[in-house]
Structure 1
């Protein structure tokens, strides 16, 4: 019988006493978030700092520019860089990230965006990537980085779901915005990035492999952007994970202005694949009244929040937390990885 990893989850709406759990330093801590406007109050940077993260990951929509004017784009990135709370975090924490449509420059944009090459350079400037880096020559912002902690390894794999993504199919039959393409039509990642991702997973010796996707991988019934709009790409990633069998794969996603946990059991791995969505940092879908997600674990959080992953290498656990203003833990899931 296939071994099912032990899973517990709880969704908590708690008082500030939950801050105590955020002060207990774990072996390695990742904090991440998405959907951040420079023209709205940035209220969460002090709370993010209080989690003492080893890495901060931008999950996309890091600014809301929606422009092909690189001067305007650069000005917004500079404004975010100079936000006092974020500046303090960036001075003490390693920063990684990918983009989504609004910082890419075109709402729901993909391969057709004519300013994407120039926008990529501005994104890399924001991420403080050296001019001599090979990332400056690559088409797309996909990248990876390994962290080794006392003999344990965490690999963070950052995908680009914009640069190569082919057209979406508008839904003209229901009140949803988008419907899935016909099976086999189109791509999210493109050939070069798929080949790269295969090698990343195939060659990984990491204890945990964290895949960052700006859009949700598992939740796909809502009619907005998601991997589910390219169902063959969903299957391709699942098959790739099945075939390569990397340890501890987790997907981090954003975009939706809600936060939630989703999970699925894949045939080839002995732990559930979790898609942890964290969105948004400065504005949330406060009018949220429900939507289907057959993979959801727990409840949807629809206030401003960020996500953290706390790793305990000895216990082989990851504690996933949705955290709001004043350090309140709004949702929590713990997973054991055998």
Structure 2
């Protein structure tokens, strides 16, 4: 009996850790609060203890009870923080600290406005993340792979990660609330991604595969359940239309990110009408209003599909020419500086540049896929907007760095393969987007 008790004591930390199904994951970071996401295996009380690096004062959150109705997820706000600081933290489940074999750190954003130049920062951007699952994948060669990409992304030490859609893939058995919870759980609990989740802040949009089936549009009957899942599993700071999709916005230093929803209002691809909805009038009006009022050095519009390429293929916005033409016209007419796009979907990576008479060019960086199957570019991709030397037809992700004084900020884009090896680099200055 004594040996059994000793063995139980020795194994206790492992038993406690087993109560964590996935996470912790860092959500948004602001100046006065940070969101931390944790999922447990069964009902539990979860809290966070945190302290500023180099300080001994420990702050504790109130416990959050996890329940089956919400997939045993705790969304915890750390609100006793100071601006522009880095913190270490611990996860406490049912009063016991959880042991991890990697560090747990988060940060708050800095108050730089009217005081100094904005801080330099970096983020990872990628799309199309497929996690294999023998129980429901199609027969044949697995579609996903290369999860060494997660460690490569983590090694780049970004401030945050921006997930650009198809962040996981719903399968045929998943179109119930139970199935959607299963698919989110399955993708989120991959062991190799946990250090990245725990130490890098995360923001996201969706595209068709993490909204519904392939090419899903506004007619998808489970769209409200998809929205519930997105809000449960991601940590975005806001939703512009609370019950109508995932549209939102956040700021990091002097850069603003406009998170677009290309599914909720989108008309079917098959509808033969050049003026059919893509984002929809309500979302378009919000975007243009938000852009014109923005003072950001760079205004980054994040969308599931390509916007700038004129190729009318797959689900590029060019297939919705009425909205695309209106968007491009209004950006010019309203004299909005600093606009560029991030997109995914295509399972290729490239940079498109649209020259515009009388104003600056518009760039669209497409980065795809991370771990899903790669594809080949098609003939229409080789059009006048394709920037020479930027087409990549293998799994990849990007690190985007922003640096320099406020009046001369520079974005540096580097594309990496899944091993973390650089494939190409491109600089864009804010002075070139005016």
Structure 2: stretches of 5+ with no match in the other structure? 1-118, 133-143
Q: For the structure 1 residues 295 and 134, does the alpha-carbon distance in structure 2 shift closer, same or farther, using more than 3 Å as the test?
A: closer
Q: Secondary structure at the match of 1:331?
A: strand
Q: For the structure 1 residues 138 and 200, does the alpha-carbon distance in structure 2 shift closer, same or farther, using more than 3 Å as the test?
A: farther
1:332 — aligned with what? 425
1:157 lines up with 2:258 in the alignment:
yes
Which one of 291, 305, 314 corresponds to residue 224 of structure 1? 314
Q: Note the alpha carbon deviations across 1:223-276, whole angstroms, 9 max, x for none.
A: 21110001111111112221333332110000010000001123464x321100
1:275 lines up with 2:364 in the alignment:
yes
2:89 — aligned with what? none
Give the alignment's TM-score, normalised by structure 1: 0.81
C-alpha deviation, 1:59, in angstroms: 0.7
1:48 — aligned with what? 153
1:21 — aligned with what? none
1:303 lines up with 2:398 in the alignment:
no
Q: For the structure 1 residues 287 and 159, does the alpha-carbon distance in structure 2 shift closer, same or farther, using more than 3 Å as the test?
A: closer
Structure 1: stretches of 5+ with no match in the other structure? 1-25, 171-180
Matched positions, count: 295
In structure 2, distance between residues paired with 1:45 and 1:169: 36
Quick check: which has more Rg, 1 or 2?
Answer: 2
In structure 2, distance between residues paired with 1:90 and 1:187: 35
1:210 lines up with 2:300 in the alignment:
yes
1:168 lines up with 2:275 in the alignment:
no
Q: Secondary structure at the match of 1:167?
A: coil
In structure 2, distance between residues paired with 1:205 and 1:289: 38
1:16 — aligned with what? none
Q: Note the alpha carbon deviations across 1:268-315, whole angstroms, 9 max, x for none.
A: 64x321100000011343555754332000231011101221112335
In structure 2, distance between residues paired with 1:196 and 1:83: 36
Which one of 238, 242, 249 corresponds to residue 137 of structure 1? 242
Asked whether the 8 Å contact 1:301–1:331 carries over to 2, the reply is no
Which one of 279, 284, 293 corresponds to residue 194 of structure 1? 284
Give the alignment's TM-score, normalised by structure 2: 0.64
In structure 2, distance between residues paired with 1:136 and 1:77: 23
1:63 — aligned with what? 168
C-alpha deviation, 1:335, in angstroms: 1.5
Structure 1 residues 68-87: aligned runs within 5 Å: 68-87=175-194
In structure 2, distance between residues paired with 1:255 and 1:301: 14
Q: Secondary structure at the match of 1:89?
A: helix
Asked whether the 8 Å contact 2:203–2:235 carries over to 1, the reply is no
1:260 — aligned with what? 350
Asked whether the 8 Å contact 1:80–1:86 carries over to 2, the reply is no
C-alpha deviation, 1:87, in angstroms: 2.3
Relative contact order, CA 8 A, sep 6+: which one is greater? 1
Q: Secondary structure at the match of 2:398?
A: strand
Q: For the structure 1 residues 267 and 71, does the alpha-carbon distance in structure 2 shift closer, same or farther, using more than 3 Å as the test?
A: farther
Asked whether the 8 Å contact 2:122–2:402 carries over to 1, the reply is yes
